[in-house]
């Protein structure tokens, strides 16, 4: 009774979980134009997940695996996640689920003990185990906006044994897990996008722990830095308007039923392509210019974290930019490779030229 009363008063007064405030981009997350000022990258259609494979970047673009030298493999179905580990490459596709490929990109997958679909992220553990995120049991990765607007919490995180094919589910009823990394202790840290936090699953059991909370966007894939710590991709921004819509079930259901998806009041990988897109007053152009601090449905952001998940610095493409929808990052040889779904581009940052992090 007390909990029900508390939820009612919170909603009435707009406080606690019913508040529509969004954390500020401040401190290590202070906006800049680093991503927007980068040299032209490698153009693609829908570059999504980049990994370091055999010492060089390899990324997914639709149903293809691509390197700097061109296409390496066509998998026949949209690739939704990648992970690399020594001589093996783990690939997830929308239609066929998880695959393991050898050095020649030949399929060497075992017979999995259960089907896993809608995979959004993969990561190898030091012991060779393969961890996976299933973003939603209801919606495919390409329908992530619908999953958010439905307030779905049907995501799953599990571990697959590449030798036996056994699959063990470790966490369920998650709000779109969309990235994971295994730390040196064997603990798994995952990004739970709709809760805007990073969640640690202890290797030896026990309660899960939030290690980074109140992220001012929807966190995606997370990978290790070469010098220790992590790179976290933020694939879309939070805003007060979207937070408000998420708290109005009648409006949301009518919008999903009656409005075309590209015009929903929802975050996106890119925006500004049509005058029919929803706007907030601050997102209107003044004198032909969209102010960089304007409310925006899309944004470009990757954050550097230390080993304790404290933000150190970040690289941005702001409201008026085009390099939005950063879905993954991978570091190799002093360079950071990024996939921008909004720009359809694979970007490279020379970390030396950007200075050392704190």
- Containing H/E element for 167? strand 167-174
**Residue 294 near residue 8 (C-beta atoms within 8 A):** no
Q: What are 61's strand-pairing partners?
A: 47, 64
What is the model's pTM? Answer: 0.92
**Residue 329 near residue 338 (C-beta atoms within 8 A):** yes
Q: Where are the domains of the chain?
A: 22-272+288-350
The CATH H-level (homologous superfamily) assignment of domain 22-272+288-350 is TolB, C-terminal domain (2.120.10.30)
pLDDT in tens, the chain (358 residues): 455 666 567 666 666 556 678 888 999 999 999 999 999 999 999 999 999 999 999 999 999 999 999 999 999 999 999 999 988 999 999 999 999 999 999 999 999 999 999 999 999 999 899 999 999 999 999 999 999 999 999 999 999 999 999 999 999 999 999 999 998 888 999 999 999 999 999 987 778 999 999 999 999 999 999 999 999 999 999 999 999 999 999 999 999 999 999 999 999 999 988 888 887 777 777 777 777 778 889 999 999 999 999 999 999 999 989 999 999 999 998 999 999 999 999 999 999 876 555 5
Closest CA to 102 of 93, 91, 118, 116: 91
SS3 sequence of 41-103:
CEECCCEEEEEEECCEEEEEECCEEEECCEEEEECCCCEEEEEEECCEEEEEECCCEEEEECC
**Residue 133 near residue 178 (C-beta atoms within 8 A):** yes
| Location of structure tokens 């259901």 | 253
Closest CA to 112 of 164, 159, 170, 169: 164
């Amino acid at each position: 009774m007390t909990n029900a009363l508390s939820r009612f008063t919170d909603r009435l007064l707009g406080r606690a979980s019913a508040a529509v405030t969004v954390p500020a981009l401040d401190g290590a997350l202070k906006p800049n134009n680093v991503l927007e000022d980068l040299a032209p990258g490698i153009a693609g259609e829908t570059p999504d997940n980049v990994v370091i494979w055999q010492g060089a970047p390899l990324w997914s673009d639709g149903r293809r695996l691509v390197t700097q030298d061109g296409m390496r493999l066509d998998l026949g179905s949209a690739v939704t996640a990648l992970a690399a580990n020594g001589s093996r490459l783990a690939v997830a596709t929308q239609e066929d689920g998880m695959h393991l490929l050898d050095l020649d990109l030949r399929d060497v997958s075992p017979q999995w003990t259960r089907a896993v679909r809608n995979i959004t992220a993969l990561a190898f553990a030091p012991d060779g185990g393969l961890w996976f995120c299933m973003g939603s049991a209801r919606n495919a990765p390409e329908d992530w906006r619908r999953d958010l607007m439905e307030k779905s919490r049907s995501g799953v995180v599990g571990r697959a044994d590449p030798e036996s094919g056994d699959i063990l589910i470790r966490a369920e009823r998650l709000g779109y897990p969309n990235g994971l990394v295994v730390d040196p202790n064997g603990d798994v840290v995952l990004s739970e996008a709709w809760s805007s936090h990073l969640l640690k699953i202890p290797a030896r059991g026990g309660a899960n722990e939030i290690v980074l909370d109140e992220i001012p966007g929807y966190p995606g894939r997370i990978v290790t830095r070469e010098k220790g710590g992590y790179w976290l991709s933020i694939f879309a921004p939070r805003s007060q308007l979207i937070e408000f819509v998420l708290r109005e079930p009648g409006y949301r259901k009518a919008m999903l039923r009656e409005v075309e998806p590209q015009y929903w009041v929802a975050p996106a990988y890119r925006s500004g392509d049509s005058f029919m897109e929803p706007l907030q007053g601050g997102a209107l152009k003044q004198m032909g210019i969209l102010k960089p601090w304007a409310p925006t449905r899309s944004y470009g952001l990757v954050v550097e974290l230390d080993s304790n998940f404290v933000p150190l610095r970040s690289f941005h493409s702001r409201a008026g930019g085009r390099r939005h929808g950063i879905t993954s990052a991978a570091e190799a040889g002093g360079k950071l490779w990024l996939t921008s779904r909004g720009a359809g581009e694979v970007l490279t940052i020379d970390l030396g030229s950007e200075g050392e992090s704190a």
